[in-house]
Amino acid sequence: MASTILLLLTFFVGAIGAIILLYRQMNFWSRRGIPHLKPLPIIGNNLSMFFGRTSITEFVTNIYDSFPDAKYFGIMGFQTPVAVLRDPELIKETCVKNFDYFLNHQSFLTEEMDPLFGKNVFSLKGDRWKVMRNTLSPCFTGAKMKFMFEIIAKCSRDFVQYFINHPDEATSIDTKDAFTRYTNDVIATAAFGISVNSMKDRENEFYLRGKDATSFRGIWRMLKFFGFLACPKIMKLIGVTFFSRATYRFFAAVIHDAVKTREENNIIRPDMLQLLIEAKVKDNRVEMSIDDITAQAFIFFFAGFDPSSTLMCFVAHELAVNPEIQEKLRNEVDILTKHESSDISYETLSQMKYMDMVISEALRKYPPTAATDRECVKKFTLPKPTPDSVEYTAEPKTVIWIPIYALHHDPKYFPDPEKFDPERFSDENKSKINPYTYVPFGIGPRKCIGNRFILLETKILFVHILQHFILEKCEKTRHPVEFEKIINVAIKGGSWVKFTKRNS
């Protein structure tokens, strides 16, 4: 009898505690007098995304448009309070000027839960992030980009040559599949020192594992993602990992074998993996563990595999549906490469201003990441979001959110935002753009470390494509594009174009 009463009492106290917690979460913003979207219990403001009702771009835009006159407003990301920043100056204040207050990304995976994801430079926090960022930064200097230029150029030449040799396949190309194979080969070679040709060897394990790791399609993948966001401790308790164990074993084996081969044979390659092998923590002189090396190499692969190919898809799509823009870009390519003795050089590529404009506009209209975040690490007071509200003091573990896609599509900053207009980024016009409204690779010290690499592999690929082909619409081309109702930016029905061989 006593044990039954104790059990009931424990259940009662637990239920009361849960109700109080839910009440505090649901009324977090109203109690602080901040404009906000009313959340649902547990799920917060994520209902439409959780059940696949909207695409990530719609989700971000709908939230952003909820309070057009506020500098920021509140939502609930499951149990976490999130301040959505709309004001460019406030974005600058939090992410640049006061970066030390918003040092980290919100992380739903710890190193113990998933070492492949939890130990990478994106997920690391505080001093550990600073050490890793400083270690990786030399991989992406101009000198390193110039060195890797020929490696990337060979991959792009191989890609174009495949379609020259297979004209029947060029009449209707699923560019997401094709460009993902290209980015796979580039990263395998430039980061891992492994030669792959995924257009010829279509089922190579490097490509298949990368495709599996970066896919968010399917009910299980979506549930797992939101499970880590909503209740990471439970996910850890039941032993779920973010990536499949087979994927982890594959990449761990690749890195282990590469490190072992280089050390045993005294092989030195000026690439990312070599820098990681040689890295030391300066203060304690502690060698970076093999898990650390594996995690950094993998996040480079993860980030380059999908977002890079997504950018390429949108560039190809817009060139196909805007032939006048394509022709202007092709003329620039032809003029600047006509005196090249062999292949295009790094210096020549750097002179292509219109290429820069086209890719910059693609990144504006279709940023690979729809939003980014920062986690507060020490108290910081934000100004009043509206004249008739009050200031908000962000506490540690709360989050601010930068709605990249919505900022890029706000007509206040980019008139006629749905129009693909590279002239926005001409020498005459780009100075008029507020730099805190155009942030395709993020902002501040936690800006994407590999953005120069992504731009380089994209530019050189399109130089080679335009030298040999005209990009045209095919029967499967959809314009304007629709986005899939998943958590990353993807085209519904795929991105399809036609490569027509040039006569000259």
Q: Is 278 left (phi over 0), alpha (psi -120 to 50) or beta?
A: alpha
Residue 259 belongs to some domain of the structure: yes
Residue 58 belongs to some domain of the structure: yes
Distance CA 189, CA 154 (A): 10
Residue 25 belongs to some domain of the structure: no
Residue 321: φ, ψ to 5°: -90, -5
Under 8 Å between Cβ of 54 and 48 = yes
Distance CA 176, CA 183 (A): 10
Longest dimension (CA), the chain: 94
Q: What is the DSSP string of 371-395?
A: -EEEE--S-EEE--SSTTS--EEEP
| Residue 235 belongs to domain spanning | 33-417+450-501
Distance CA 304, CA 297 (A): 11
The CATH number assigned to the domain holding 194 equals 1.10.630.10
Both structure tokens of 448: 């994407």
Could you give the number of structural domains in the chain? 1
Nearest to 29 by CA among 80, 63, 104, 97: 80
Residue 430 belongs to some domain of the structure: no
Residue 113 belongs to some domain of the structure: yes
The model's pTM: 0.89
Residue 129 belongs to some domain of the structure: yes
Residue 483 belongs to some domain of the structure: yes
Could you list the pLDDT tens digit for every one of the 504 residues in the chain? 565 665 555 555 555 555 555 656 778 999 999 999 999 887 888 888 777 789 999 999 999 999 999 999 999 988 889 999 999 999 999 999 999 999 999 876 666 666 667 778 888 888 888 888 888 888 788 888 888 888 899 999 999 999 999 999 999 999 999 999 999 999 888 777 788 899 999 888 888 877 776 666 656 566 666 666 666 666 666 666 666 777 778 888 888 888 888 888 888 876 778 777 776 544 444 467 778 888 888 777 777 778 899 999 999 999 999 999 999 999 999 999 987 655 789 999 999 999 999 999 999 999 989 999 999 999 999 999 999 999 999 999 999 999 999 999 999 999 999 999 999 999 999 999 999 999 999 999 999 988 999 999 999 999 999 999 999 999 999 999 999 888 788 888 889 999 999 986
Residue 163 belongs to some domain of the structure: yes
Of all helices (H) and strands (E), which one includes residue 33? none
